[in-house]
């Protein structure tokens, strides 16, 4: 997973977890691009979601991580961009299967919903899990 290039972003509601996830990425030498927000001041999550989504669908980043208060706004906004498969995860099982079955290319998290350590476990599992392909590829192809 060290070779993955990650795009990461949050609004003010997810700012603290974004910084924690960045610490995690740095500790594992994972390359990342932080699109902001860069301060705890209020900002608009759809702008951040778009910036991460465009990095992912253009191939400049392999996958993206988005954090807001609930993760819901980020997932709604990111999934508007063609080619995005954003998964809002609050548990490690969903995180694993969102990769294995859905080939999710963006992970969304809610800072106001789940604890910090769970969020980091979800990131860890999500980054380490590959797409299984096979019958799941057929289904993802139907979405695309």
* Residue list 104-133, contact with ligand RB5 (CB under 6 A): none
For residues 129 and 10, what is the distance between their CA atoms, to the nearest angstrom? 23
Tokens of 112: 């106001």
37 binds ligand RB5 (CB under 6 A): no
Among 4, 5, 33, 69, binds ligand RB5 (CB under 6 A): 69
From the list 68, 89, 117, 136, the catalytic residue is 68
Among 50, 64, 66, 73, binds ligand RB5 (CB under 6 A): 73
β-pairing verdict for 5-10 and 31-34: parallel
136 labelled catalytic: no
Expressed in angstroms, the distance from the first to the final Cα of the chain is 25
Smallest gap from residue 63 Cβ to ligand RB5 (A): 20
Which residue, 32 or 45, is less far from ligand RB5 as judged by CB? 45
Cα torsion 87, 88, 92, 95 to 10°: value is: 0
101 labelled catalytic: yes
68 binds ligand RB5 (CB under 6 A): yes
Q: What angle do CA 7, 13, 14 make, to 5 degrees?
A: 30
State phi, psi for 124 to the nearest 5 degrees: -60, -50
Which residue, 5 or 46, is less far from ligand RB5 as judged by CB? 46
Catalytic residues: 68, 101
């Amino acid at each position: 997973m060290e070779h993955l290039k990650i795009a990461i972003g949050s609004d003010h509601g997810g700012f603290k977890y974004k910084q924690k996830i960045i610490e995690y990425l740095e500790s594992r030498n994972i390359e990342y691009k932080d699109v902001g927000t860069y301060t705890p001041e209020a900002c608009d999550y759809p702008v951040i979601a778009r910036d991460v989504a465009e990095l992912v669908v253009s191939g400049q980043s392999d996958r993206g991580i988005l954090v807001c208060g609930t993760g819901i706004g980020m997932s709604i906004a990111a999934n508007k961009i063609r080619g995005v498969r954003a998964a809002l995860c609050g548990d490690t099982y969903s995180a694993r299967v969102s990769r294995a079955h859905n080939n999710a290319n963006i992970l969304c998290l809610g800072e106001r919903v789940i604890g910090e350590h769970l969020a980091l476990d979800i990131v860890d599992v999500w980054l380490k899990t590959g797409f299984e392909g096979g019958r799941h590829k057929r289904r993802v192809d139907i979405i695309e």
